[in-house]
Amino acid sequence: DFDPVRDGKTVTQFCKELGISRQTYHNIKSRIAQKGRAGIVPDSTAPKNPIKKFDEADKIAVVHARQELMEQGLDYGPWSIYYFLFDTVGPDSTPSRSTIASWLHELGFVDANARKRPRSSYKRFARDLVGELWQIDGLVYRLFDHAHTHVTIYQIIDDASRFDVGTTAFALPENGTDARAVLAAAFAAYGKPQEILSDNGDAFATYHRGFLSATETWLASQGVLAIAGF
């Protein structure tokens, strides 16, 4: 029973005979009190949370996620695929970013030796004067809280100076009401530009689809021309 008193010995004598420290003795006594004689046997050193084993079905899910992101016109790199799967199948079934990257390379979806286009080959087309053109864009940002909250960040940049004339976050998905609120605040602070450049989202420019969005109509009432990129 790991009890030196029964044999008429002191704890110090008992520990010396067994070649253990007094701290080890007290640790073992505590384990025996909690688990009985099984407490003498050391606990398993196996990890409490074994590494998740993934199979071919998981690889196929990664390929499908990549394809879906690509078809939506979104980034389809390893991090984007990771968060896509995190939201759709949950954290327990989502491979790590490095595993996803490894699978993409293994399956031939990544050209590790792709030649990069030299920066000198790019020509930036920008307006010459401040206030000629502003660019507005909305992006979704994931907060690292328990609920995985998503917020929409609207940013307005002056094309000539690259000055940020208005960046604001909202809790709702991208919409015209919030977009116009950001634009109105920027107009009040810096005046109105000649043109606003945006994407073809419902919150911004829809004239390419044969009708005007509420934002385009409002900009026209402000004397600002709404244009969109493709």
* The predicted structure's pLDDT at residue 158: 94
Report whether pLDDT(45) > 60.
no
Report whether pLDDT(66) > 80.
yes
| pLDDT (tens digit per residue) in 169-220 | 999 999 999 999 999 999 999 999 999 999 888 889 888 888 889 999 999 9
| pLDDT (tens digit per residue) in 129-154 | 899 999 999 988 888 877 788 899 99
Q: Which residues contact 184 (CB under 8 A, 6 or more apart)?
A: none
**6-24 mean pLDDT:** 74
Q: Give the CATH fold of the 133-228 domain.
A: Nucleotidyltransferase; domain 5 (3.30.420)
Q: Which of 45-59, 64-78, 138-152 has the lowest mean pLDDT?
A: 45-59
State phi, psi for 216 to the nearest 5 degrees: -65, -40
* The predicted structure's pLDDT at residue 36: 65
| Residue spans of alpha helices (H) in 19-129 | 22-35, 56-71, 78-89, 97-106
* The predicted structure's pLDDT at residue 3: 64
Q: Which of 158, 155, 166, 167 is CA-nearest to residue 128? A: 158
State phi, psi for 112 to the nearest 5 degrees: -65, -20
Report whether pLDDT(83) > 90.
no
Specify the pTM.
0.47
Q: Is the sign of the CA dihedral 208, 213, 218, 221 positive or negative?
A: positive
* The predicted structure's pLDDT at residue 120: 54
Distance of CA 123 to the CA centre of its chain: 31
Report whether pLDDT(20) > 90.
no
Report whether pLDDT(54) > 90.
no
State phi, psi for 134 to the nearest 5 degrees: -110, 150
Report whether pLDDT(97) > 70.
yes
- Mean predicted lDDT score pLDDT of the chain: 82
Q: By percentage, how much of the chain surpasses pLDDT 70?
A: 81
23 falls in which pLDDT band (50, 70, 90)?
confident
Q: Which residues contact 24 (CB under 8 A, 6 or more apart)?
A: 15
* The predicted structure's pLDDT at residue 4: 60
